A and B are shown apart, each in its own frame.
Chain A
Amino acid sequence: ETGVTQSPTHLIKTRGQQVTLRCSSQSGHNTVSWYQQALGQGPQFIFQYYREEENGRGNFPPRFSGLQFPNYSSELNVNALELDDSALYLCASSSGGRGHEDSAFFGQGTRLTVV
């Protein structure tokens, strides 16, 4: 167990809806990153938060947004869901500091299905 908890584990949404995924970081970690992993592919970087500020962003449209809270837990919000958003969404926490993902620990992921 890594200490990183994601909820829910599975989710089914309809195209056009909005979804919020949650991540509870490992104790002592101040950096959280979100990834999208399609079946058979490596994770794709969505964005990273360090001490409540966005610290980096991948090639995802603005309808993918996030928040990091003072207790370093985090949310990923996706608006106007599309069928291609169906994937495993992974959260990773680390304590390496700004832009530094030394020893990042991943949660088990949220499997999102858009129908």
Chain B
Amino acid sequence: EDQVTQSPEALRLQEGESSSLNCSYTVSGLRGLFWYRQDPGKGPEFLFTLYSAGEEKEKERLKATLTKKESFLHITAPKPEDSATYLCAVQARDTGGFKTIFGAGTRLFVKA
């Protein structure tokens, strides 16, 4: 069964304390892996798309990497404004088209 699992469920960091969020996936026919940020009461905000193992992308304090089984979102020297839920999603082939599967997210809290 296709599955996306994110860990940890919640993460509390001090400002400046770097860490990583994990997204492991089991899916056939992977077309892409996506990272989003979601603030309370809002829709997800697109961060990155990764297509193949070994690919890396960076944006400000965030860096996303991809292997054949998992992806990591590295947060370097986080600030309180980085506090949000980070969602991982994979898109895969399906009968009749494609499907997108999201993980449950990692809630990040950064304390000043």
**Nearest A residue to B42, CB-CB:** A108
Residues of A in contact (CB 8 Å), total 29
* A104 interfacial by beta-carbon distance below 8 Å: yes
Count A-B contacts at CB 8 Å: 80
A72 CB-CB contact with B under 8 Å: no
Give the total of B residues in contact with A, Cβ under 8 Å.
28
Task: Identify whether the interface residues of B are mostly helix, strand, loop, or mixed.
Answer: strand
Within 8 Å by CB of A106, from B43, B93, B105, lies B43
Let me know if B87 and A43 touch, CB within 8 A.
yes
Tell whether A48 is near chain B: CB-to-CB under 8 Å: yes
Within 8 A of A (CB), among B48-72: 49
Selected contact of B100 from candidates A40, A45, A108, CB within 8 Å:
A45
**Assembly CA distance A42 to B85 (angstroms):** 10
- 6 A–B pairs (Cβ distance < 8 Å), ordered by A: A54-B97, A56-B96, A56-B99, A99-B91, A101-B49, A101-B91
